[in-house]
Chain A
Amino acid sequence: MATTSSMFMYHLTVQPPTAITRAILGQFSAGSKDQLLLTVSGSRLTLHRPDPGAGKIPAILSHDVFGIIRSISAFRLAGSGKDYILVGTDSGKITILEYLPEPQNRFNRIHLETYGKSGIRRVIPGEYLAADPKGRACMLASVEKNKLVYVLNRNAEAELTISSPLEAHKPQSLVFALIGLDVGYDNPIFASLEVDYTESDQDPSGQAYDDIEKQLVYYELDLGLNHVLRKWADTVDRTANMLFQVPGGTDGPSGVLVCSEDSITYRHHNQDAFRVPIPRRKGLTEDPNRRRYITAGVMHRMRGAFFFLLQSEDGDLFKVTIDMIMDDNQEPTGEVGRLKIKYFDTVPVASQLCILKSGYLFIASENGNHHFYQFEKLGDDDDELEFDSDSYPANPVVPYTPASFQPRASQNVTLVESINSMSPMVECKVLNLTNEDAPQIYSVCGTGATSSLKMLRHGLEVSEVVESELPNLPSAVWTTKLKRDDEYDSYIILSFTNGTLVLSIGETVEEVPDTGFLGPVATLAVQLLGEDSLAQVHPRGIRHILADGKINEWAVPQHRSIVAAATNDTQVVVALSSGELVYFEMDSDGSLQEYNERPSMRGTVTSLSLGPVAEGRQRSSFLAVGCDDSTVRILSLDPEETLASKSLQALTSAPSALLIMPMKDSSSGGSTLFLHIGLYSGVYLRTVVDEVTGELVDTRTRFLGPRPVKLSQVTVQGEAAVLALSSRPWLGYSEQQTKGFMLTPLNNPRLEWGWNFSSEQCREGMVGIQGQSLKIFSVENLSNNVLQESIPLQYTPRSFVRHPEQPLFYVIESENNVLAPATRARLLNDAPTNGHTPDLPPEHFGYPRGRNHWASSIQIVDPLDAKSVIHSIDLDNNEAAVSVAAVPFTSQDDEVFLLVGTGKDMITSPRSFSCGFIHVYRFHSDGKELEFIHKTQTDQPPLALLPFQGRVLASVGTDLYIFDLGMKQLLRKTKSQCAPQLITALQTQGSRIIVSDVSQSVTYVVYKYHENKLIPFADDSTARWTTAAAMVDYETVAGADKFGNLWMVRCTTKASEEADEEGAAHLLHERSYLHGTPNRLDLMTHFYTQDIPVSVQKTSLVAGGRELLLWGGLEGTIGIMVPFVSREDVDFFQQLETHLRAEDTPLAGRDHLMYRSYYAPVKSVIDGDLCERFMLLSNDKKHMIAGDMDRSVREVERKIQEARTKVAF
Chain B
Amino acid sequence: MADKLRAQQQLEQLQARYVGTGHADTTKFEWTSNIQRDSYASYIGHPPLLHYMSIGMGEPKEKVRLRMIEKMIQPVGKPPEVQD
Contact = CB atoms under 8 A, between A and B. Distances in A.
Interface of A: 19, 21, 42, 68, 70, 90, 120-123, 126-127, 142-145, 171, 174-176, 195, 197, 200-206, 209, 212, 241-242, 293, 295-296, 313, 349, 351, 366-367, 423-424, 447, 796, 815-818, 908-909, 1042-1044, 1090-1092, 1113-1115
A818 B59 CA distance: 10
A68 B47 CA distance: 8
A144 B41 contact: yes
A349 B59 CA distance: 11
Given A296-B62, A367-B55, A90 B45 contact: yes
Contacts of A197: 72-74
A144 B33 CA distance: 13
A176 B69 contact: yes
Interface in B32-84: 33, 37-38, 41-42, 44-49, 51-52, 54-63, 65-66, 69, 72-74, 78-82
A242 B37 contact: no
A548 B33 CA distance: 93
B5 interface: no
B49 A424 contact: no
Contacts of B33: 201
A302 B82 CA distance: 59
Nearest to A200: B74
Contact of B47 (A21, A171, A209, A908): A21
Nearest to A121: B41
Given A351-B61, A1114-B51, A204 B81 contact: yes
B69 A1114 contact: no
A340 B65 CA distance: 27
B48 A1091 contact: yes
Contacts of A21: 47
Interface of B: 16, 18-20, 33, 37-38, 41-42, 44-49, 51-52, 54-63, 65-66, 69, 72-74, 78-82
B29 to A, nearest CB: 9
Q: Which of A122, A366, A1043, A1090 has the most CB of B within 10 A?
A: A122
Given A174-B69, A206-B78, A209-B73, A1044 B48 contact: yes
24 contacts: A19-B48, A21-B47, A42-B48, A68-B45, A70-B47, A120-B42, A123-B19, A144-B19, A171-B19, A174-B73, A195-B73, A209-B73, A212-B73, A241-B63, A313-B60, A313-B63, A424-B51, A447-B58, A796-B55, A817-B58, A817-B59, A908-B56, A909-B57, A1092-B52
Nearest to A122: B41
Contacts of B54: 366
A36 to B, nearest CB: 22
B66 A1042 contact: no
A122 B69 CA distance: 11
Given A120-B41, A209-B74, A293-B66, A145 B51 contact: no
Given A174-B69, A816-B57, A1044-B48, A241 B41 contact: no
A144 B36 CA distance: 13
A122 B52 contact: no
Given A241-B62, A241-B66, A174 B72 contact: yes
B73 A447 contact: no
A818 B58 contact: yes
Q: Which of B54, B65, B73 has the most CB of A within 10 A?
A: B73
Given A144-B72, A204-B80, A909-B57, A120 B45 contact: yes
A293 B63 contact: yes
Q: Is the interface of B mostly helix, strand, loop or mixed?
A: helix
Given A241-B62, A293-B63, A120 B46 contact: yes
A205 B51 CA distance: 35
B37 to A, nearest CB: 6
B62 A815 contact: no
Given A201-B33, A201-B79, A295-B62, A1092 B56 contact: no
Given A815-B58, A1115-B48, A143 B72 contact: yes
Contacts, number: 141
B79 A366 contact: no
B52 A127 contact: no
A122 B19 contact: yes
Contact of A349 (B42, B60, B78, B80): B60
B41 A209 contact: no
A815 B56 CA distance: 9
B74 to A, nearest CB: 5
A1092 B49 contact: yes
Given A241-B66, A1092-B52, 7 more contacts: A127-B41, A142-B41, A209-B74, A351-B61, A447-B55, A1044-B49, A1092-B48
A452 B46 CA distance: 25
A1090 B52 CA distance: 13
B62 A313 contact: yes
Contact of A1042 (B52, B60, B61, B63): B52
A950 B2 CA distance: 77
A547 to B, nearest CB: 65
A202 B80 CA distance: 9
Nearest to B30: A201
Contacts of B19: 122-123, 144-145, 171
Contacts of A816: 56-58
Given A121-B38, A201-B79, A293-B66, A143 B49 contact: no
B42 to A, nearest CB: 6
Nearest to B45: A120
Contacts of B16: 171
A296 B60 CA distance: 10
Contacts of B58: 447, 796, 815-818, 908
A796 to B, nearest CB: 7
Nearest to A1044: B48
A206 B60 CA distance: 29
A68 B46 CA distance: 7
A1194 B77 CA distance: 63
Nearest to A68: B46
A333 B76 CA distance: 50
A1043 B49 CA distance: 7
B60 A295 contact: yes
A540 B16 CA distance: 94
Contacts of A200: 73-74
A959 to B, nearest CB: 23
Contact of A242 (B49, B52, B62): B62
Contacts of A19: 47-48, 51
A816 B33 CA distance: 29
Contacts of A145: 19
A1114 B45 contact: no
A941 to B, nearest CB: 13
A351 to B, nearest CB: 7
B38 A424 contact: no
A293 B67 CA distance: 12
B68 to A, nearest CB: 9
A37 to B, nearest CB: 18
A477 B72 CA distance: 71
B28 to A, nearest CB: 14
A1090 B54 CA distance: 17
Contacts of B48: 19, 42, 1044, 1090-1092, 1113-1115
Contacts of A70: 45, 47
